[in-house]
Chain A
């Protein structure tokens, strides 16, 4: 059972797989729009793939299964015609004052934070990652009440602990970033929003004219992966492969790099739009997700370098090529969607 904290703001905390989906879903719910996490993810076109080997983070090539942080929230609120305010504060004191002012007015407020100093997070997950999202929804005995979608129940942070994570340093420093609803929606059309979200995802997965993104990006990764054991060499190759698995399965993907959340979204969309064929596409997406998981299992054996393992980077890359083919088929089919079946 989810425990609710006392606050002057009647905010309902619901856990989610991914922080940005969860924050968006919970915030909209406060304003009377009750949409599930998969629905938020689908409307916000959260599914993506990018592989950018020439950009390195902690000496590892950048790979991601989601668009840039903040985009899901931006797309969903835009699509549902909700006006939002986003602010950053060079001065930490002012950032905290602005948050307090919002709480006094009864506005639940989203904050972008870094997780390295996030006290309630398990230690093994505390890397220098600066695009985590939480909602602050009240104060109790000086502490802030926090709705972090990754956590089962609401948490608390002291003034100093919250200030510290709002001013985490490194890649994409949050600089006290916060966001909140200025004006709730004056009416929106869920069906149109769903179709728009799907079309955008198809565009992102099929038609970005450089090889690093979408299904082309998956093939690109496969191609590069085959060469890893030769260059940069076996030791680094195993670190690279481990990195792919961490990004694929890290907290918040709901399994298989968001593929299962997206399949859940397609199921819901089938119901809302009354278009039965989306259930078939959902099933295909589930199969693609299962292939991603097979890829993860094999990769795990490869980078742990089990003596009896005959599998190679070539085998893992073959699975990726198969996944790219499947997903290309899926999105080509989805691309044809319209309000009328």
Chain B
């Protein structure tokens, strides 16, 4: 890759916070460092991964609204977690977390456990129970 070929396809994925450091050949054929703001194929792959996550989150949200599954499932998907990972963060056995995904069980959870979930998902207990996040992404 030559210096002038280093892609600058900024699609906002790096939020202006970072740049990709690339190595490319300069006019004299020597390798130098060049910053890149993004690259089409890579951006597309990142977007694909996030679309997939968002789709899953939305499907889970619908299931929560239909009363099939508890809000824990929604926030779990939203945080790109699965049951083993969530259980590790909560320091609870997996079977307990699995139980908490049932709406009937979730309704009876005591405040302490709810607070633990809320803390792990960085939301309030109220947001956890209602799926209403005050304008947060």
Contacts and interface: CB of A to CB of B under 8 A. Distances in A.
Interface string B1-32: 10000100000011101111111110000110
A154 interface: no
Contacts of B41: 245, 249, 296-297, 299-300
B39 A249 contact: yes
A246 B31 contact: no
A122 B18 contact: yes
Interface string A110-127: 000000100011111101
Interface stretch (B46-54, B63-71, B97-105, B109-117): B46-54
A323 to B, nearest CB: 15
B42 interface: yes
A261 B85 contact: no
B45 A255 contact: no
Please classify how large the interface on chain B is, using the bins under 10, 10 to 19, 20 to 34, 35 or more.
35 or more
A98 interface: no
A17 interface: yes
Interface size, A (range): 35 or more
Contact of B14 (A125, A297, A299): A125
A120 B17 contact: yes
B15 A286 contact: no
A260 B22 contact: yes
A195 interface: no
Given A122-B17, A256-B1, A264-B31, A300 B44 contact: yes
A169 B94 CA distance: 14
B3 to A, nearest CB: 11
Given A245-B41, A246-B45, A246-B49, A263 B20 contact: no
A290 B24 CA distance: 11
Contacts of A170: 85, 88
B15 A249 contact: no
A15 B20 CA distance: 10
Given A242-B44, A255-B36, 11 more contacts: A123-B137, A124-B13, A128-B85, A151-B18, A152-B18, A254-B21, A254-B23, A255-B24, A256-B1, A264-B31, A296-B41
Interface of A: 15-17, 38, 58, 116, 120-125, 127-128, 150-152, 169-170, 173, 238-239, 242-243, 245-246, 249-251, 254-256, 260-261, 263-264, 267, 282, 286, 289-290, 293, 296-297, 299-300, 303-304
